[in-house]
């Protein structure tokens, strides 16, 4: 092999290989410290793009599940209030039935009607004061926007919550002061009970639909997280093996570079 003092090819080759090994070692160390196979677009551009898309879908699904949960809370609040209204109406049925008795005195009828009117006031208060997160529940539409991050996977689920005041329930003119008015009130109260029951059924169906949507969103989110992890996560055993390999190669590369540089010293000895 010829010796040259102008170009130390062996040293250049050793230095170049050492640079390649050092870059690979740094990449391996980064993967080991982050636990991720992809830390920049240069690691795997296609994999990074797919993972970012999946993560965007996961974010949409997680928020959709939260939206559904909030809507469920609002509808369940309305249902709980309607349960109270039903209890008040059931008591009103008892009072109306009692007031229909022809043997009552005027004072007794008045006392029964006073209690009935108080019950109607409570029903009105429930209608006006029930709220969820500062928003009135009755007389509004409760809905949840759910999406998986795509236009095709976007839907709005919810229900309209009807007002439950005495006017809506057709009880505003009802009284129990006479047997005839008590009989008329009993008919109106029974109709109100049926109306509230139907409303609770509608809300219950909406809650079930929202719960199903939330479950689907949660499951799909978990699946996408797993898929993204499969794309980006580093195989730790492989990374550790590579890290060890590159560490050894760095040491041998440094040794080779030192030997290549020593070749130039051989030329000087020939000139002595």
CATH number at residue 106: 1.20.1330.10
Phi and psi at 144, nearest 5°, equal: -130, 130
In a domain, 196, yes or no: yes
Same domain, 20 and 74: no
C-alpha 195: how far from chain center = 34
pLDDT above 90: percentage of residues in the chain: 51
Distance CA 255, CA 245 (A): 15
Task: Check pLDDT > 90 for residue 188.
Answer: yes
Domain that holds residue 16: 9-35+235-271
Same domain, 144 and 105: yes
The per-residue pLDDT of the chain, averaged, comes to 86
Task: Check pLDDT > 70 for residue 206.
Answer: yes
In a domain, 148, yes or no: yes
Domain count, the chain: 2
In a domain, 149, yes or no: yes
In a domain, 44, yes or no: no
Q: What is the pLDDT of residue 264?
A: 64
Same domain, 155 and 209: yes
Same domain, 186 and 251: no
Q: Are 133 and 72 in contact (CB under 8 A)?
A: no
Same domain, 211 and 114: yes
Distance CA 135, CA 77 (A): 11
In a domain, 42, yes or no: no
Same domain, 245 and 141: no
Task: Check pLDDT > 80 for residue 74.
Answer: yes
Q: Can you tell me which residue has the tokens 């980006």?
A: 232
């Amino acid at each position: 092999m010829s010796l040259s003092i102008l170009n130390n090819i062996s040293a250049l080759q050793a230095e170049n290989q050492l640079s390649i090994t050092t870059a690979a070692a740094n990449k391996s160390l980064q993967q080991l410290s982050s636990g991720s196979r992809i830390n920049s677009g240069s690691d795997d551009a296609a994999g990074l793009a797919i993972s970012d898309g999946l993560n965007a879908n996961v974010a949409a699904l997680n928020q959709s599940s939260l939206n559904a949960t909030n809507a469920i809370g609002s509808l369940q609040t309305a249902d709980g209030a309607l349960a109270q209204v039903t209890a008040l109406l059931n008591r009103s049925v008892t009072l109306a039935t009692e007031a229909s008795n022809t043997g009552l005195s005027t004072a007794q009828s008045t006392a029964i009607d006073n209690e009935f009117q108080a019950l109607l006031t409570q029903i009105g208060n429930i209608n006006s004061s029930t709220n969820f997160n500062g928003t009135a529940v009755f007389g509004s539409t409760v809905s949840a926007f759910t999406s998986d991050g795509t236009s095709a996977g976007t839907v709005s689920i919810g229900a309209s919550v009807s007002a439950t005041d005495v006017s809506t329930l057709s009880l505003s003119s009802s009284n129990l002061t006479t047997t005839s008015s008590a009989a008329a009130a009993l008919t109106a109260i029974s109709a109100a009970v049926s109306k509230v029951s139907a409303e609770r059924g509608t809300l219950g169906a909406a809650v079930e639909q929202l719960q199903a949507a939330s479950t689907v969103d949660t499951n799909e989110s978990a699946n996408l997280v797993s898929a993204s992890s499969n794309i980006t996560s580093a195989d730790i055993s492989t990374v550790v093996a590579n890290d060890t390999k590159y560490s050894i190669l760095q040491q041998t590369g440094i040794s080779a570079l030192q030997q290549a540089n020593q070749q130039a010293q051989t030329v000087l000895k020939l000139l002595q």
